[in-house]
């Protein structure tokens, strides 16, 4: 248990802060997202920190929020936008580890290789800074040796921490977690809280020290689960497939400088295509929709576009992905200097089933890709590269020495 390092990354005021990104004029204003702003009986789905400073809370009626802050800006939700950003965040976190599990639309578990606590906290700060700089979302991070520790570290301590991060494990649980009221234990609702209080169990520590036999006798396996949660026991893995099948496989890259010319941009597009291709094969998947996103800036104004194209047949070929993405980019690029690029493959299906053609065969290409994957797995990501990646525009050599854009 102690060898695991798990982050629970929670995006703060997710809906409201995303709406502020979409409406820059509201950056310093109190903003809430409501289910139906046209009626005062609607409820608040999310409130930005500025709105919360007036006492506005999630799930309270709109009229109540307006009484607290008459000049609050009420916006309707754009759920597809939030879902798209959530998927982007999960893909972003895959730069650090393949063990990424969305817990909710604004919370993600991330499991990392074992490291010292100090380094884990430094990495958490690095991830927070990149999420804010590259995606525009503010996050807090709970760090634990199990998923349940990470979740409670985030919920109970990271929110109050000056750094926005907190660590919870067997070494400090008795000091930090156990004094808390029993109602703050993860998975304890109002009814269970009442039952536990009636038993004389008022704190998490009292539950953790309570005889397991009594809890199992009263609630069976649920009683044991409560006892384990109080003690931080949780062997469940961080798995991308816990909630749903993967819908897309993508890779995003923030460039070290503005790229002005197609000759430079296509080098990065090829590298991104090869990485998406490799990940697709790792997941034994084929995809039929290639998407490309680009962000640039000109005269201080951010310019971006996102386009996609459906292929005639599913693929995980880096060559096909690159050719499709290149055509899309050249069609929609307006010449704005580019600072970040992303490519994804969606409409996934298992690679075990593939439509064969009498006139074209990819068997030799599949064999080549398989060999290249084996070489990279054995000798590193820079073991086999396109020659263009050795040019000044190439990023593959540099990123091969990093973990999630951070030097090892």
384: exposed, middle or buried (Cβ count in 10 Å: 0-12, 13-18, 19+): middle
Per-residue confidence (pLDDT) for residue 1, from 0 to 100: 46
Q: What are phi and psi of 231, to 5 degrees?
A: -95, 0
Residues 6+ away with beta carbon under 8 Å from 119:
none
10 assigned binding-site residue: yes
Helix residue ranges, H only, 94-233? 117-130, 147-152, 173-176, 190-198, 204-209, 212-219, 221-230
pLDDT over 80 (residue 227): yes
Active site residues: 107
pLDDT over 60 (residue 6): yes
Q: How far apart are CA 136 and CA 256, in angstroms?
A: 18
Question: Residues 49-92: pLDDT tens digits?
Answer: 999 999 999 888 888 999 999 999 999 888 888 888 998 999 89
pLDDT over 60 (residue 242): no
Question: Residues 16-27: pLDDT tens digits?
Answer: 999 998 898 998
| Token digits of residue 173 | 């649980």
Q: How many CA atoms lie within 13 A of 311 on its CB side?
A: 23
Of residues 367 and 312, more confidence is placed in 312
pLDDT over 80 (residue 401): no
Per-residue confidence (pLDDT) for residue 207, from 0 to 100: 96
Per-residue confidence (pLDDT) for residue 116, from 0 to 100: 85
Residue ranges and CATH numbers for the domains of the chain are: 1-177 (3.30.70.270), 178-230 (1.10.150.20), 248-407 (3.30.1490.100)
Per-residue confidence (pLDDT) for residue 109, from 0 to 100: 96
State the average pLDDT for the chain. Answer: 86
Per-residue confidence (pLDDT) for residue 355, from 0 to 100: 60
Q: What is the pTM of this model?
A: 0.60
Per-residue confidence (pLDDT) for residue 148, from 0 to 100: 95
């Amino acid at each position: 248990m102690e060898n695991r390092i798990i982050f629970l990354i929670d995006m703060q005021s997710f809906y409201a802060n995303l709406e502020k990104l979409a409406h820059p004029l509201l950056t310093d204003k109190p903003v809430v997202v409501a289910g139906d702003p046209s009626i005062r009986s609607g409820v608040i789905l999310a409130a930005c920190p500025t709105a919360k400073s007036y006492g506005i809370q999630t799930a309270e009626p709109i009229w109540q929020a307006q009484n607290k802050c008459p000049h609050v800006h009420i916006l309707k939700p754009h759920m597809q936008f939030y879902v798209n950003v959530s998927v982007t965040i999960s893909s972003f976190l895959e730069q650090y580890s393949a063990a990424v599990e969305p817990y909710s639309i604004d919370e993600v578990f991330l499991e990392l290789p074992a490291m010292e606590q100090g380094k884990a906290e430094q990495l958490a700060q690095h991830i927070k800074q990149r999420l804010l700089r590259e995606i525009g979302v503010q996050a807090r991070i709970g760090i634990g040796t199990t998923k349940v520790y990470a979740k409670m570290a985030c919920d109970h301590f990271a929110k109050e921490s000056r750094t926005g991060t907190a660590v919870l494990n067997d070494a400090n649980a008795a000091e930090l977690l156990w004094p808390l009221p029993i109602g703050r234990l993860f998975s304890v609702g109002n009814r269970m809280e009442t039952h536990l209080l009636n038993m004389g169990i008022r704190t998490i520590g009292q539950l953790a020290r309570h005889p397991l036999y009594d809890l199992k006798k009263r609630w069976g396996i649920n009683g044991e689960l409560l006892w384990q949660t109080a003690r931080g026991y949780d062997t469940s893995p961080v798995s991308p497939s816990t909630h749903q099948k993967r819908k897309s496989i993508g890779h995003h890259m923030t460039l070290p400088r503005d790229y002005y010319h197609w000759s430079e941009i296509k080098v990065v597009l090829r590298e991104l295509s090869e990485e998406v291709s490799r990940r697709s094969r790792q997941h034994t998947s084929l995809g039929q929709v290639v998407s490309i996103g680009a962000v640039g800036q000109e005269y201080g104004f951010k310019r971006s576009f996102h386009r996609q194209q459906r292929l005639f047949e599913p693929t995980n070929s880096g060559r096909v992905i690159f050719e499709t993405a290149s055509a899309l980019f050249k069609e929609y690029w307006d010449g704005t200097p580019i600072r970040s690029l992303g490519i994804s493959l969606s409409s996934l299906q298992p690679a075990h089933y593939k439509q064969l053609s009498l006139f074209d065969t990819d068997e030799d290409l599949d064999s080549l890709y398989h060999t290249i994957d084996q070489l990279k797995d054995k000798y590193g990501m820079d073991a086999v590269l396109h020659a263009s990646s050795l040019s000044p525009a190439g990023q593959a050599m540099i990123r091969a020495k990093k973990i999630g854009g951070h030097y090892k």
